[in-house]
Every structure is written in structure tokens, then in C-alpha cells.
Structure 1
Amino acid sequence: MTVPSSDARYSRDELVAALGIDPKYGEKIWTAFGFARQHSDAKLFSEADVEAFRLFARGAAGVDEAAQVATARTIGQSLARLADWQADQLIEFDEDPEVSWSVDDMAKALSRIQRLVWRLHLGIALEGSRAQDSDSTGWDTTIGFVDIVGYTNLSRRIDHHELNDLITAFEDQVSAVVTTYDGHVIKTLGDGILFANPDTTQSALTALDIADLSEQPPIPRLRIGLAHGEVLPRLGDVFGEPVNIAARLCGSSRPGRILIDDNLSDALEDDARFRLRSIAPLSVRGYRRLRASALTRPKA
């Protein structure tokens, strides 16, 4: 069921007409948002919605169409995943006799909280963008990758409730460590988490604290890879060699251990809070002799 604005006056096709855009392009964007290609006269949009879309369309006029569709797809996929999870939660609350709120009331409250959290995150992201070199499309940062060792076999041995508890604890606790050191979780991948932190020292401290979580029930064994360099931020994700190297180092690391690339090792070598040990070059996919070091805390 589609939930329209309370003062909705426009159908999807009427919105497209009001914006004065090509119907085929409007259909493409609508599909990229994740909605079905079907005609409907349902009134979904208010006058304020039309004005918001008009502002968005005006700002996107000079942007390549492929980039606009990719942006719409990213928004649609992210919000669809969030909405699916929220719907399950609201139904669960609605079935609880101790919860007196209706689903509609809870949805309205959730919508307000969601907008507040989004505005705060947007403000932080804008400040970060202004601090970067405006002439550069890259971002100099440390990329970290952490995953669960033997996840496939583990998921076969435990039931869904145990798996849910494991994944929830893994994502919650690792994300808490990342944000404690002013880092940013880029994405979660079920058995893995990709994060970024432009500060080399903070990223190393993050990795050490995450390693401490390894084999602390319900979290199983973890392994971590870090690489520093320039990445391309795009639609909430990051791309570039540091991402690839961090993933390769993570996959080559032993349970509970941290491997870092030479760039990060050079930045940390004079810091007494860290102990670095060079390892033999790694032969991994895409890199025949990948140089790396093991990162630990100094011995007492």
C-alpha cells in the first residue's frame, strides 16, 4: 500500500506533467526509485512535494542522466531496505498489547525522528565536504574492513535467532567503536563492515579496539585489514585501491589480527602506542607481492 501525503493532489503522471519533464525520463527515475512501471491515478503528491521535486529537477538539470538515475537508485534501495525493516518492527509493536500507539501514530513519530537524524548527518557530511579540497574529487583516508571468520560455516550451524543475535551484536559493537574514534561506517555486508577514518592514528586505535571484540560472545572470531590512500566517494560508497587492499588484507589476516598496508605503516611507525611487524609479501587477487605489516599494541 502506498502512503500519500495528507494533502495529496497530484498523481505520479500529473507530477511529471507539472514539472515539465519528459515522461520517459520520469518513468526511468520512478523505476530507479524502486517502484513498479504501472499507470495509476492515485493521488500521491502534495503541492509542497511538487515544489521539492521542481527544486531537485532544476539542480539536476546540468547533471548527466546516468548519474541522476544512479542517485535515484541509491536513494530507492537504501530507503526500501530501511522501510522493510521498519515495517516489521511496527507490526511487531502493533501486536504487543502493552503498546497503545497505532501503527499510523508510530509511523509519524518515526518519520519525524528519521528526518531529524538525517538532517544532523547531512550537516556533518556538508562540513566534511567543505573541509576537503574543492578541486579534488578524491578523499585521502584510511579504509578499514572487518569480517567474521568462517561466517558461511557458522551460519549453517546455528539457528536464525542465534544468527540474528550474532549479526546484531557484531554490527552494533563494531559501529560503536568506529564512531567513538570519529570514523564513519560506509556499509555493512552481513558478515563484514567497511569503514573510513581520515585520521591514521584514530583508524589504528579503531582497529585495535575492534580486535578486542573478537571471540567475545556472542561475537565470533574477527579479522581486520586497513589501507590508507585516496578513494573516490560516490553515492555513499567508496572506490579505489585502498578499498581493494583493505579487503585483501582482511582476507589474509589471522583471526583476531590486524594487517595494514605500507602507507598506514609509514604514518604510524614513530607512534609508541603501536607495534608494527613486517610480514612476508602476500600473493592475493590483483596483487602478486602486497607488502603489509601486522598491527598490535606494544608488549607490556
Structure 2
Amino acid sequence: MTEEFGAAQRQVEEILLGGERRYTRQQVREKAGVPLDRSVMLWRALGFATVGDDDMVFTDSDVEALRMTQELMLAGIIEPETTTATARMLGQHLSRLAEWQVHLMTDILAANPELVSDERQLGRFIERLVPDLERLQNYTWRRHLAAYAGRALASPGEQLQVQSEVVGFADMVGFTTLTRRANEAELVTMVDRFDAMTAEIVADNHGRIVKMLGDEVLYVADSPQQGAEIALRLLEAAEADPDLPVLRAGMAYGRVLNRFGDVYGSVVNIAARLTGVARPGTVMIDRALADALAGIDAYTVRSRRPVSVRGFSRLKCAVLRRSEESKVPSINLVPDERPRRKRR
């Protein structure tokens, strides 16, 4: 079976790369008309391993990608000083997508060994699958592009890289302990349910997931009310789900730097620190967000004593809760008729 999967790997690689490996890095940069140091820099930034001078690992697609990058730079669309950062961002995000897709593909091949043993069948399967994945990725990218473009065109004078946003973290309490007790299947179920629940709640309340960090999610929202709803609904949904531990959350409000899909600044750090000191089942917020939510009937904001955390001395904070009048019925995004597990 190992030899069969080795042959399958070679077959799949040739189809995915669009041809055979035929160029060294010197040859590919000459054909693309790109300086060698720039081609090496981009290759590394995309997350690929360094190759030797005489290794023939590049294809015609690599030549075209380098040539296209050079043309975008010459046209002024990509600034030379941001080229590496752009390549790094693409490599990091797409590598995670590729990893998931490869797991999907290997599971299918393992369940259908006849595909591996027959190169013609394997080739036909890959040639059918890859275009469908490409179309789905392109559709999703265009929808997100349209959403962000609409936002930018609605406020043409607004600087979108630095703006006031709510930054929030939510993590599963006691996840490390759970990983020692649970088996692999239980952990997969837990993480999948957390990811699905988070994606639905953040999207429904007009937020954006910046990234998932194992047992934690980092998200942003444009308005204080949207951020508050996301945090409270995440905690309520986790409480109603027997397969998830209790969550805790921390949020802060202020100027945030958005760069290459990530967020930076003291507001992000404050939100992270508040999450670390929040008690299970509670939402801790900074003074700026507390002031923005004060007077809104849907929430209660109770000040707490200042806390000293890494990087911040006597940080003013408060606990955010839903007011009694606005409490909603328990949320269960994934119906489950099993009896509720007693949490420890």
C-alpha cells in the first residue's frame, strides 16, 4: 500500500503542478526576467523549502507566477517593499486550505484503493476534483472581495488600514485538561463544533473572524453593539452545547491596524489580556468599550477593580452581561438530544 501511495503522490503532483519539474531556480528566474534574489525571497515567503542551485523543481507555472508578480510590481499595483509580506500572507493562509484539502483527498483515496492502483482512474478523479475546488475558492474569494470593496467604496475617504474597531477573543476554558482526557474523535468533534458555532455567530452579527487559534478565536466588529452580541452569543451557545466547555471572552475598543488579514495594536493586546483574567462564562471589556455600551438597555456593564496584566498596569475593565429584560432563550446551534454532560 505504501508503494501504491508513493505512485499516487507522483501522479497527483504532476497534475496539480500543471506539468513536470524541468527548471532550476536560475533557469526559472531567467525565463521570468526576475532577479535571482527576488525570486528566492518570494519562494521562501510563500512558505516553500529552500532548494539547491541544481535542483530541477520548478515548472512552467512557476515561471508564469514570477513573471506575473514582476508585471504587477512594474505597474505599481504591488509595492516592492510589500511584496514579501504579500507573498507571506498568501502562503500562510493558502497552506492551511491546502492541508485540509489534502486530508480530504487522502481520505477518499484510502476509502477507494482502486483509484490508487489505477493511474488512469486516479488522473481522471484529480482532474475532476481540482477544477471544482478552484471554482469554489474563486467564488468565495470574489464574495469576500465584493463585501470589502463595498465597504471601502461606501466610505471612500476613510482609511481602512487603521480604524476604530472592537477586538474580541473567546477561548474554551480548561481545553488543555480536556485534551489529556478526551480521545482523538472527541477532540475533533469539539473543535469542529467550536469552529462551526463561532463562524455562524460572528457572521450573523456582522463581525469578521481574523483567525482561529486552536481553542480560541480572534474576531473584530465595526460597532460596540455588534462586538457585544458576538461575545454574549458565543458564551450562550457554548453553555447550551453539551460537547463544548464553558467559554470566556475579552474585548477592547479603539484604533486597530489591519494589515494582510491580521490586526495589530494595543487594543488587540488589551483584549487578549482581559480574556486571560476573565472568569469562566464571563465577558471582560476595557473602559473604552464599557463607555460605548453604557446606557444601552440590552446590556449591563459593571466596573471591576483595575487589573495589572503583562504590558498594562492597573487596566480599567468591566464585566459585560445581557440585561434581564433582553435575555434570549438558550441557544443551541447544533441540535442534540443527548443528555447534557456535567462540566467539571
Distance 1:145 1:41, change over 3 A: closer
Task: Check if 1:109 corresponds to 2:152.
Answer: no
Corresponding residue for 1:53? 69
**Mapping of residues 34-73 of structure 1, within 5 Å:** 34-38=47-51, 39-40=55-56, 42-45=58-61, 49=65, 52-59=68-75, 63-65=79-81, 67-73=82-88
**Mapping of residues 94-173 of structure 1, within 5 Å:** 94-96=109-111, 102-130=125-153, 131=155, 133-134=157-158, 137-173=161-197
Q: List runs of 5+ in structure 1 lacking aligned partners.
A: none
Superposed displacement of residue 109, structure 1: 0.8
Alpha-carbon distance in structure 2 between the residues aligned to 1:8 and 1:57 = 26
Corresponding residue for 1:26? 39
Alpha-carbon distance in structure 2 between the residues aligned to 1:167 and 1:136 = 32
Alpha-carbon distance in structure 1 between the residues aligned to 2:269 and 2:66 = 42
**Residues 249-292 of structure 1 deviation map (CA, whole Å, 9 limit, x = unaligned):** 11111111111111111111111011111111112111121111
Superposed displacement of residue 63, structure 1: 2.7
Corresponding residue for 1:81? 96
Q: Quick check: 1:18–1:50 contact (8 Å CA) kept in 2?
A: no
Q: Quick check: 1:12–1:45 contact (8 Å CA) kept in 2?
A: no
Superposed displacement of residue 227, structure 1: 0.5
Q: Quick check: 1:11–1:44 contact (8 Å CA) kept in 2?
A: no
Alpha-carbon distance in structure 2 between the residues aligned to 1:283 and 1:198 = 27
Corresponding residue for 1:17? 30
Q: Which amino acid aligns with 2:40?
A: E
Q: Quick check: 1:274–1:298 contact (8 Å CA) kept in 2?
A: yes
Distance 1:17 1:250, change over 3 A: same
**Mapping of residues 165-184 of structure 1, within 5 Å:** 165-184=189-208
Superposed displacement of residue 157, structure 1: 1.1
Superposed displacement of residue 27, structure 1: 1.1
Q: Which amino acid aligns with 1:193?
A: V
Superposed displacement of residue 133, structure 1: 4.1
**Mapping of residues 119-268 of structure 1, within 5 Å:** 119-130=142-153, 131=155, 133-134=157-158, 137-215=161-239, 216-268=241-293
Alpha-carbon distance in structure 1 between the residues aligned to 2:199 and 2:308 = 30
Alpha-carbon distance in structure 1 between the residues aligned to 2:37 and 2:83 = 14
- How large is the Cα RMSD of the aligned pairs? 2.7
Identity of aligned residues (%): 32
Corresponding residue for 1:295? 320
Q: Which has the larger radius of gyration?
A: 2
Count of residue correspondences = 299
Alpha-carbon distance in structure 2 between the residues aligned to 1:11 and 1:4 = 15
Alpha-carbon distance in structure 2 between the residues aligned to 1:173 and 1:132 = 34
TM-score (norm. length: structure 2) = 0.79
Q: Which amino acid aligns with 1:231?
A: V
Distance 1:132 1:251, change over 3 A: farther
**Residues 113-146 of structure 1 deviation map (CA, whole Å, 9 limit, x = unaligned):** 1111111112222333443644574121000100
- Higher helix fraction (1 or 2): 2
Alpha-carbon distance in structure 2 between the residues aligned to 1:61 and 1:16 = 21
3-state SS of 2:254 partner: strand
Q: Which amino acid aligns with 1:102?
A: F
Superposed displacement of residue 70, structure 1: 2.1
Distance 1:237 1:132, change over 3 A: farther
Q: Which amino acid aligns with 1:26?
A: S
TM-score (norm. length: structure 1) = 0.89
Q: Which amino acid aligns with 2:252?
A: A
